[in-house]
């Protein structure tokens, strides 16, 4: 087997090459190989300097994340980095692709860094619930200053080579061949008599920091990092960089890194990292399935949803036709799109020229004939089967052969929609989440007859428009809404049991949800939920089921859009409403719902376990391919915090036996209707397995 790290000498320059595809991660053989190569360099009397370079598409992209669940094996990365830094002869890192995490830490252990202009460098560990644990928290502040280093490590965002050069983590940008440029840089060091330059020996610039710097910094990131464990640990490491010796601060970094690595947060975030790559792999749709070109898109329906969908394509340069029935509706739709773009322009996130270019790609139309050449048509009209069928018959007549006909339905049967066309193999569900130009989730719903080509093209298209595409099968509500309904059901039930909605929401928020279930219901529109419940053929036989939604809708309280729903709205501020409390009390009395004392723990337990049980049914029915796909749906589409890893990962973390025990507890109180453990959940709990293990066993 070829060595993953090789050593050769070209004249006076030692060239040490890492070759560990796909991303040159620092797995044990790479660490051991680096230790061996740098030992050889130290002993090589002919070598005056070394260049560390990588084969393949990138410089080292970090530690090997798959190793974090196993015991650490020597040599551990900080030891290797110190060995490199301790070299008596200069070492130059030659960077292309992405030098991330342990990759940048290794480069910072080298004495100099050169990079091609397209390279990116960064410490993204925070997105895995970790901190840069191989001296990165100590080196980056020394090289680019405390504030810049904190910003880079807390956001996890990489910087391009030019920014790296300006800030001081890159010494030179190489034009042309990287190895030749790096060798020339090393030779010049030798010619100028320059030796090693060790980052650890640089003094952290603490003098220029205001006395309250760290307290203020904590405040400035509090909102964006709410609930996450790692950001605070990163700040503690930088405080150590400022106040302790290098050696003591590295020991502190190591201690805090271990805490992060063992945390449930990091396990959940690492789970999502792999889930987000696994989700693109569809068992029966091979990687080489031919793709249809998508050069022209049409969106049917210029409401908020249709407009948001159109923006996604315009944003990546694909022309879109926006079709409406009346000129008035069309004008309104275009005006909404325009105002959606104006927001980012005002905030400086987009230039006026970029906005104009996007607007120019969206063409309004009233005629079906105009969409005849569209490669992909997405219907985003009213959520009623009769109307959807009408639209699809018209599309079947108007669209060219081979066009993909997609519905943005959030609940309805794609097969029934496909059946009113003569080309059900070209029909698919593309369920965008509101606001469609912002939310990263796209549920891709394959019908019984959808062709593999259409599935593969839709998955690729999701990537093009920067969405996380999750392939699911047909059922009422698909994965997201089907699991969201039991969550809302429990929130609604607890309201009837006398728990104030604002308390339920604040407990869910404290647990990490971006918004509580009642706030979300008001945002989505109670009228929408009411209508969905009405269309639902298998709605539970329970008069209390989401009863307050019906009551409030009857009173014209549709949520945020009417200024009143479960809450009353002062601007966007939700205010508890005594009128709703009185209505709820009266309804509970009429339905004879017992009033209960409900603890915070029970609030979370009922919300989550109701969802998890539905998730188990969904998995068993094959609606979702694997439990991690469900997790992606909730972290990308429903505001679940990444540090919980999604509902199914959360269940695995709790232990499925505990989940079943909770189901039994509520079954004893409420009966079988909602609280009978799904057969798959019961089976896995009994055999001591997790959803993740079960999903992996089906691969």
Would you say 122 or 637 has its CB closer to ligand 3HC?
122
What's the DSSP call for residue 420? T
- Cβ 22 to ligand 3HC, closest distance in Å? 5
Residue with tokens 């540090």: 643
Q: Which of these segments, 57-65, 303-311, 421-429, 540-548, binds ligand 3HC (CB under 6 A)?
A: 57-65
134 binds ligand 3HC (CB under 6 A): yes
For 112, the token pair is: 């100099």
Q: Which of these segments, 55-63, 198-206, 519-527, 576-584, binds ligand 3HC (CB under 6 A)?
A: 55-63
Phi, psi of 639, rounded to the nearest 5 degrees: 70, 25
Q: x-or-dash pattern for ligand 3HC, window 68-107, by CB under 6 A? A: ---------x--------------------x-xxx--x--
- Cβ 31 to ligand 3HC, closest distance in Å? 11
- Cβ 105 to ligand 3HC, closest distance in Å? 6
Name which position in 130, 152, 165, 320 contacts ligand 3HC (CB under 6 A): 130
Q: Which of these segments, 3-11, 124-132, 206-214, 595-603, binds ligand 3HC (CB under 6 A)?
A: 124-132
Phi, psi of 562, rounded to the nearest 5 degrees: -105, 10
Geometric angle at alpha carbon 624, from 621 and 625, rounded to 5°? 100
Q: Is 497 designated active site?
A: no
Q: Is 125 designated active site?
A: yes
Q: Which of these segments, 130-138, 415-423, 586-594, 609-617, binds ligand 3HC (CB under 6 A)?
A: 130-138
How distant is the alpha carbon of residue 103 from its chain centre? 22
Hey, which bits of 548-661 come out as E strands? 568-570, 573-575
Would you say 128 or 564 has its CB closer to ligand 3HC?
128
Residue 214's CB is within 10 A of a number of other CB atoms, namely 17
Is it true that the peptide bond before 117 is cis, omega within 30 degrees of 0?
no
Q: What is the dihedral of CA 453, 454, 456, 457, to 10 degrees?
A: 110
Q: What is the dihedral of CA 489, 492, 497, 500, to 10 degrees?
A: 140
- Cβ 85 to ligand 3HC, closest distance in Å? 16
- Cβ 465 to ligand 3HC, closest distance in Å? 16
133 binds ligand 3HC (CB under 6 A): yes
SS (H, E, C) 523-571: HHCHHHHHHHHHHCCCCCCCCCCCHHHHHHHHCCCCEHHHCECCCEEEC
Name which position in 65, 412, 491, 611 contacts ligand 3HC (CB under 6 A): 65
153 binds ligand 3HC (CB under 6 A): no
Name which position in 90, 109, 129, 132 contacts ligand 3HC (CB under 6 A): 132
268-307: contacts with ligand 3HC (CB under 6 A): 274, 277
260 binds ligand 3HC (CB under 6 A): no
- Cβ 266 to ligand 3HC, closest distance in Å? 10
141 binds ligand 3HC (CB under 6 A): no
118 binds ligand 3HC (CB under 6 A): no
Name which position in 5, 23, 159, 508 contacts ligand 3HC (CB under 6 A): 23
How distant is the alpha carbon of residue 634 from its chain centre? 10
- Asked whether 375 and 298 are in contact (CB, 8 A), the reply is no
What 3-state class would DSSP assign to 509?
helix
- Cβ 99 to ligand 3HC, closest distance in Å? 10
Q: Which of these segments, 21-29, 179-187, 415-423, 486-494, binds ligand 3HC (CB under 6 A)?
A: 21-29
Residues forming beta bridges with residue 432, ordered by sequence position: 442
- Cβ 140 to ligand 3HC, closest distance in Å? 11
Name the catalytic one among 85, 105, 239, 602: 105
253 binds ligand 3HC (CB under 6 A): no
Name which position in 4, 31, 64, 607 contacts ligand 3HC (CB under 6 A): 64
Name the catalytic one among 125, 383, 490, 502: 125
62 binds ligand 3HC (CB under 6 A): yes
Is it true that the peptide bond before 76 is cis, omega within 30 degrees of 0?
no
Residues forming beta bridges with residue 646, ordered by sequence position: none
Q: Which of these segments, 58-66, 177-185, 378-386, 639-647, binds ligand 3HC (CB under 6 A)?
A: 58-66
What's the DSSP call for residue 622? T
Name which position in 30, 54, 61, 640 contacts ligand 3HC (CB under 6 A): 61
Would you say 234 or 491 has its CB closer to ligand 3HC?
234
Nearest-angstrom CA–CA distance, 151 and 130? 15
128 binds ligand 3HC (CB under 6 A): yes
Closest among 80, 83, 71, 214 to 149, alpha carbons compared? 214
- Cβ 274 to ligand 3HC, closest distance in Å? 6
For 150, the token pair is: 């904190």
Provide the angle, in degrees to the nearest 10, between the axes of the packed helices 480-496 and 501-511: 130
For 446, the token pair is: 């394959």
- Cβ 62 to ligand 3HC, closest distance in Å? 2
Q: How many residues bind ligand 3HC (CB under 6 A)?
A: 26
- Asked whether 64 and 25 are in contact (CB, 8 A), the reply is yes
3-state helix, strand, coil in the chain (%, to 5): 55, 15, 35
Nearest-angstrom CA–CA distance, 127 and 62? 13
Residues 6+ apart with CB under 8 A from 6: 16, 17, 19, 37
Phi, psi of 77, rounded to the nearest 5 degrees: -55, -45
In the complex, the residues that contact ligand 3HC under the rule CB under 6 A are 22-23, 25, 58, 61-66, 77, 98, 100-102, 105, 124-125, 128, 130, 132-134, 136, 274, 277
**Residues with catalytic roles:** 105, 125
């Amino acid at each position: 087997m070829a060595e993953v790290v090789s050593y050769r000498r070209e004249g006076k320059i030692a060239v040490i090459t890492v070759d560990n595809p796909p991303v040159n991660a620092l797995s044990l053989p790479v660490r051991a190989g680096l230790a061996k190569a740098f030992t050889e360099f130290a002993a090589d009397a002919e070598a005056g300097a070394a260049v560390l370079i990588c084969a393949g598409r990138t410089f080292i992209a970090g530690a090997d994340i798959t190793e974090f669940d196993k015991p650490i094996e020597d040599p551990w990365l900080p030891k290797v980095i110190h060995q490199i830094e301790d070299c008596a002869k200069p070492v130059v890192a030659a960077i292309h692709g992405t030098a991330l995490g342990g990759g940048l830490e290794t480069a910072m252990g080298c004495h100099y860094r050169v990079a091609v202009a397209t390279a990116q460098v960064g410490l993204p560990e925070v997105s895995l619930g970790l901190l840069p644990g191989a001296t990165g928290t100590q080196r980056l502040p020394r090289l680019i200053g405390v504030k810049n280093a904190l910003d880079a490590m807390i956001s996890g965002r990489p910087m391009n080579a030019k920014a790296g050069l300006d800030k001081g983590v890159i010494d030179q940008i190489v034009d042309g061949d990287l190895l030749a440029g790096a060798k020339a840089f090393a030779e010049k060091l030798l010619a100028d008599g320059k030796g090693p330059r060790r980052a650890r020996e640089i003094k952290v610039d603490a003098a220029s920091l205001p006395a309250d710097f760290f307290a203020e910094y904590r405040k400035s990131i509090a909102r964006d990092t709410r609930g996450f464990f790692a950001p605070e640990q990163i700040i503690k490491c930088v405080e150590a960089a400022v106040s302790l010796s290098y050696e003591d601060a590295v020991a502190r970094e190591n201690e805090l890194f271990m805490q992060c690595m063992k945390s449930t947060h990091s396990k959940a975030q690492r789970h999502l990292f792999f889930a987000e790559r696994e989700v693109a792999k569809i068992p029966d749709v091979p990687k080489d399935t031919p793709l249809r070109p998508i050069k022209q898109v049409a969106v049917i329906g210029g409401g908020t949803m249709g407009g948001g969908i159109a923006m996604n394509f315009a944003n990546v340069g694909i022309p879109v036709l926006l079709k409406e029935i009346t000129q008035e509706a069309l004008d309104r739709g275009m005006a909404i799109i325009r105002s959606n773009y104006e927001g980012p322009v005002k905030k400086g996130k987009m230039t006026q020229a970029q906005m104009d270019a996007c607007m120019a790609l969206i063409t309004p139309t009233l005629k079906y004939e105009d969409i005849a050449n569209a490669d992909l048509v997405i219907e985003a009209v009213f959520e009623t089967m009769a109307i959807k069928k009408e639209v699809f018959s018209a599309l079947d007549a108007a669209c060219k052969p081979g066009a993909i006909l997609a519905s943005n339905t959030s609940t309805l049967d794609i097969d029934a929609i496909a059946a009113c066309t003569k080309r059900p193999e070209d029909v698919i569900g593309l369920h965008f989440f509101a606001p469609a130009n912002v939310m990263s989730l796209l549920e891709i719903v394959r019908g019984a007859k959808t062709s593999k080509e259409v599935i593969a093209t839709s998955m690729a298209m999701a990537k093009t428009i920067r969405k996380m595409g999750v392939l699911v099968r047909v059922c009422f509500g698909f994965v997201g809404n089907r699991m969201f309904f039991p969550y809302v059901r429990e929130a609604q039930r607890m309201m009837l049991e006398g728990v104030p909605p604002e308390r339920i929401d604040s407990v869910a928020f404290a647990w990490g949800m971006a918004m509580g279930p009642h706030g979300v219901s008001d945002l989505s529109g109670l009228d929408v939920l009411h209508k969905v419940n009405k269309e639902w053929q298998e709605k539970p036989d329970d008069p209390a089921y989401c009863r307050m939604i019906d009551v409030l809708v009857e009173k014209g309280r549709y949520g945020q859009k009417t200024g009143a729903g479960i809450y009353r709205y002062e601007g966007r501020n939700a205010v508890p409403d005594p009128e709703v409390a009185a209505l709820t009390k009266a309804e509970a009395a009429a339905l004879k719902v017992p009033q209960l004392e409900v603890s915070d723990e029970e609030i979370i337990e009922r919300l989550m376990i109701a969802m998890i049980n539905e998730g188990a049914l969904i998995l068993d029915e094959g609606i979702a391919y694997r439990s991690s796909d469900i997790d992606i749906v909730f972290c990308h589409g429903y505001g679940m915090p990444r540090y919980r890893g999604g509902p199914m990962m959360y269940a695995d973390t709790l232990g499925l036996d505990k989940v079943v025990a909770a189901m039994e507890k509520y079954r004893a109180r409420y009966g079988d209707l909602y609280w009978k453990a799904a057969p798959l959940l019961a089976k896995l709990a009994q055999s001591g397995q997790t959803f993740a293990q079960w999903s992996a066993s089906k691969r």
